[in-house]
Chain A
Amino acid sequence: MERTIALREEQVIEDLLPRKFGKTGQLWVGVLSCICLVGLYAYYRQLRYGLGVTAMRDYVSWGLYISNFVFFVAISLVGSLITAILRLANVKWSTPLTRIAEMIAIAAIMFAALIIIVDMGRPERLLNVFAHGRIQSPIIWDVVVITTYFFISCLLLYLPLLPDIKILIDHQRTATRPFQRLYRFLGSFWKGNTGQVAISDRAINILCITIIPVAFGIHTVTSWLFATTFRPGWDSTNFGAYFISGAFLAGSGAVVVAMYVVRKAYGMDHYITDDHFDKMGKIVVLLALVYLYFNISEYLLPAFKMKEGEDAHLRELFSGDWALRFWATIFISMLLPMVILLFPKGRRPLPMFLVGIMVVIGAWFKRYIIVVPSMLHPFLPMHDVPLSYKSYFPSWEEWAIACGSLAGGMLVITLLIRIFPIVPIHETIEEMKAN
């Protein structure tokens, strides 16, 4: 019995150690890098010629960048969901998903911060935020809470990684050799004795508890960036809950997509099983229902009263220029996934993968629909401005930068997967022994 466990242990380590990129992997990294480079060139143009290279103007002064920011913040929330909430609820099946969720969270939060800097008219004055920062501005709340969330997420990735780093140091293969110095820097102090394990377990528990209010804080504050302004469509007390429920849905969609890709690319069918997809499918249905509920209260109640100000905005969304995008988003990111996932056949890996993509793309468009139409409907008429100020469609520079940031996020996730084991090795072995 002892021997079989030892043998299987070796097998698990063999399966889960980071691997070199294959042909597809190299192509993937190459394509992402190219998109990032185009984005960088567009940003250079923006720095040189000013924000005028974007299609933003005085009325729509927040556009693609800000909706991208909200999207990134939303995606990043999944780290706390999968790691903290499921862990505290003592759910064991989520173990293989925790690390990928944390990696997505860290990559997303990094690019959320970056895209905000991209959106600034004077990025070189970023330090003013710290030198002259005033706590009554929601932007300062955002800076505080994003930084806190970033560090807690990094710790939540790092601490459970320590036993795995020991394994990585002990098992030098060609794929892990280039990173040995990094591993030794990060975790050579880890001996794995009971004292260290006790401290680490306690720390992880504390982090899991603290990250939940911070995660709620980060997206509530992001929603308050909008809700604290006098704008039709944003003047809502529902906004915090509405954003958080949407974020959980978007994030779990992203995890489902990543699960499928990793499983396919690395042949990890034994570790990320059909059962995982089934369970994630049930979670996605639940989250889609919650998000739909908040959508109804967000749009139906103002539409019932149709106050002046809200009127033009809501009519545009329901039956005007934005109707196609609005209803398509509701269908693609909520209703259709719900219908598909209600059937056991829909919760198999491939349909789940497609649903995940639908949810993520829908989530991205949803952010765009939250940001832009409100800006197009101010209280006073748009007057005494050139025609180009009255409508908005992002310029190629904006698209390039936004795509660059999305590609950058995926690149960070890909590189983290390349360097660290994507499924926790140590925890998998422990659970195997316990069984």
Chain B
Amino acid sequence: MSELTNGSQSRRAFLSGAALAAVSAAAASCNHLKDPFSTQAAALDVTPTGEKVKLLSVDGEVIEVDRAFLKPVPHLPSVTNAEARVGIPGKKFVMVIDLARCKNLKRCQAACDHMHHIQDGQNWIKVQKMQESAHTAPYWQPTTCMHCDEPPCVKVCPVDATFKRQDGIVLIDSDRCIGCRFCMAACPYSTRVFNWNEPVLPKEIAKQPYCAETSVPQKKGTVGKCDFCPDMTRRGELPHCVSACPNGVFFFGDLNEDSVTNGAETFRFSDLMRDKAGYRLMEDLGTRPSVYYLPPVNRNFPIEAGEENDKG
């Protein structure tokens, strides 16, 4: 009996020893070839520099790692999808666009296109040459998403892919959008664009998980639009179009605080509306936009100054 047990034990010991040897041999062969800390170990061929860096491990121990093995942590969405859907508590974001200052420079558009990796031919911000009637003066009118309080796009979305947050921002969940384009038909401001083809994006952008607050990366067969840059506002910074405009056309702020700023100047929102007769586009449709316009009185630039940038 004891012999039998002994025999089986020794066999087990032999087998486990062999397995261990095999694993350690495999590990050893990996060790001098590949980076053990990388998920794409096969793709990397790191030669140690010899310079060690002290790090705090997840267990709270101080460990040393060769500098060559350090790499930046992959970009993760700053907020979860659930958080992005709720919005920033206590805020009600508004934008004011002063038409007297716009020269159709299109810096707002360029900054927006760049930061959101918008595809060729699509613009979330459009600058239109407007004229109320034949005998009135023309002016440049930048349009963004109006982030309406009664958004027609949100009403018609069958899957809740476009939604309105408590801070007044209307966003899109590209992971849920079915691409029916009903929101595009419903939007009277024509602010929505569609990714008709696979978006051309840098690899590291394309492989990021979609974040509703940055609207990056855009995905094939889904809808995109201006998002008021909620990722910037969460950090207490201004949207890209606001800070990119050298003429201070765009003001951004919080209705609850009653203040808007373009970075250089800050105004009471209610004062601006009262003193400069602010208005919203197509008020009669009942969409109640969050973007307010100041009329193009005493224009800083003649309309011709912007003609050369007008792409039509």
Chain A positions within 8 Å of B, measured between CB atoms, are 49-52, 54, 56-59, 61-62, 119-123, 125-126, 128-129, 131-134, 136-140, 143, 225-226, 228-231, 375, 378-386, 389
Chain A interface SS verdict (over half): loop
**Contact A225 B182, CB 8 Å, known A230-B152, A385-B121:** yes
Does the CB pair A389–B121 fall under 8 Å?
yes
**The residue from B129, B177, B179, B223 contacting A383, defined by CB atoms under 8 A apart:** B129
Instruction: Pick from A50, A126, A136 the residue with the most CB of B within 10 Å.
Output: A50
Shortest Cβ gap from B217 to chain A (Å): 15
Interface mask (B277-289 → A, CB under 8 Å = 1, otherwise 0) = 0000110010100
Does the CB pair B155–A136 fall under 8 Å?
yes
Does the CB pair B312–A122 fall under 8 Å?
no
**The residue from A121, A229, A378, A379 contacting B194, defined by CB atoms under 8 A apart:** A121
Shortest Cβ gap from B16 to chain A (Å): 47
Shortest Cβ gap from B102 to chain A (Å): 14
In the complex, B159 has a CB within 8 A of chain A: yes
**Contact A129 B178, CB 8 Å, known A58-B193, A121-B220, A384-B109:** yes
Does the CB pair A125–B127 fall under 8 Å?
no
7 new A-B contacts at CB < 8 Å, known A54-B196, A61-B181, A384-B127: A51-B194, A123-B178, A125-B159, A134-B157, A134-B158, A136-B155, A380-B189
In the complex, B192 has a CB within 8 A of chain A: yes
* A-chain residues with CB within 8 Å of residue B152 when the two chains form the complex: 229-230
Does the CB pair A380–B143 fall under 8 Å?
yes
Within 8 A of A (CB), among B250-309: 281-282, 285, 287
Supply 14 A–B pairs (Cβ within 8 Å), ascending by A: A50-B197, A51-B194, A58-B184, A58-B192, A62-B181, A119-B180, A121-B220, A128-B178, A133-B159, A136-B155, A230-B287, A231-B188, A375-B185, A380-B126
A125 to B281, CA, bound (A): 34
**Contact A50 B198, CB 8 Å, known A61-B181, A122-B222:** yes
* A-chain residues with CB within 8 Å of residue B127 when the two chains form the complex: 383-384
Does the CB pair A132–B128 fall under 8 Å?
no
* B-chain residues with CB within 8 Å of residue A131 when the two chains form the complex: 159
Does the CB pair B285–A121 fall under 8 Å?
no
Does the CB pair A230–B178 fall under 8 Å?
no
**Contact A121 B181, CB 8 Å, known A56-B196, A379-B282:** yes
In the complex, B201 has a CB within 8 A of chain A: no
* B-chain residues with CB within 8 Å of residue A384 when the two chains form the complex: 109, 123, 126-128, 311
* A-chain residues with CB within 8 Å of residue B143 when the two chains form the complex: 380
Residue of A nearest to B152 (CB): A230
Shortest Cβ gap from B136 to chain A (Å): 14
Chain B interface SS verdict (over half): loop
**The residue from B121, B178, B185 contacting A386, defined by CB atoms under 8 A apart:** B121
In the complex, B122 has a CB within 8 A of chain A: yes
* B-chain residues with CB within 8 Å of residue A229 when the two chains form the complex: 152, 156, 182, 185-186
Shortest Cβ gap from B166 to chain A (Å): 18
Does the CB pair B158–A139 fall under 8 Å?
yes
A-B pairs, 10 with minimum CB distance = A121-B179, A121-B221, A52-B196, A230-B188, A52-B197, A139-B158, A137-B158, A384-B126, A132-B159, A61-B181
A141 to B125, CA, bound (A): 33
A123 to B109, CA, bound (A): 32
**Contact A58 B194, CB 8 Å, known A121-B221, A230-B188:** yes
**The residue from A62, A121, A375 contacting B222, defined by CB atoms under 8 A apart:** A121
* A-chain residues with CB within 8 Å of residue B160 when the two chains form the complex: 132, 134
A51 to B177, CA, bound (A): 14
**Contact A230 B195, CB 8 Å, known A133-B158, A380-B128:** no
* B-chain residues with CB within 8 Å of residue A50 when the two chains form the complex: 195-198, 220-221
Shortest Cβ gap from B51 to chain A (Å): 48
Does the CB pair A125–B194 fall under 8 Å?
no
In the complex, B190 has a CB within 8 A of chain A: yes
Residue of A nearest to B131 (CB): A381
Shortest Cβ gap from B114 to chain A (Å): 15
A51 to B223, CA, bound (A): 12
A43 to B130, CA, bound (A): 40
In the complex, B176 has a CB within 8 A of chain A: yes
**Contact A228 B221, CB 8 Å, known A50-B197, A378-B190:** no
Shortest Cβ gap from A260 to chain B (Å): 38
* A-chain residues with CB within 8 Å of residue B180 when the two chains form the complex: 119-121, 139
Does the CB pair B157–A137 fall under 8 Å?
yes
* B-chain residues with CB within 8 Å of residue A386 when the two chains form the complex: 121
Shortest Cβ gap from A313 to chain B (Å): 14
* A-chain residues with CB within 8 Å of residue B157 when the two chains form the complex: 134, 137
Shortest Cβ gap from A203 to chain B (Å): 33
A138 to B157, CA, bound (A): 8
* B-chain residues with CB within 8 Å of residue A62 when the two chains form the complex: 181, 185
* B-chain residues with CB within 8 Å of residue A54 when the two chains form the complex: 196
**Contact A231 B123, CB 8 Å, known A50-B221, A121-B221:** no
Shortest Cβ gap from A86 to chain B (Å): 35
Shortest Cβ gap from B119 to chain A (Å): 10
Does the CB pair B190–A51 fall under 8 Å?
no
Shortest Cβ gap from A169 to chain B (Å): 44
Interface mask (B193-209 → A, CB under 8 Å = 1, otherwise 0) = 11111100000000000
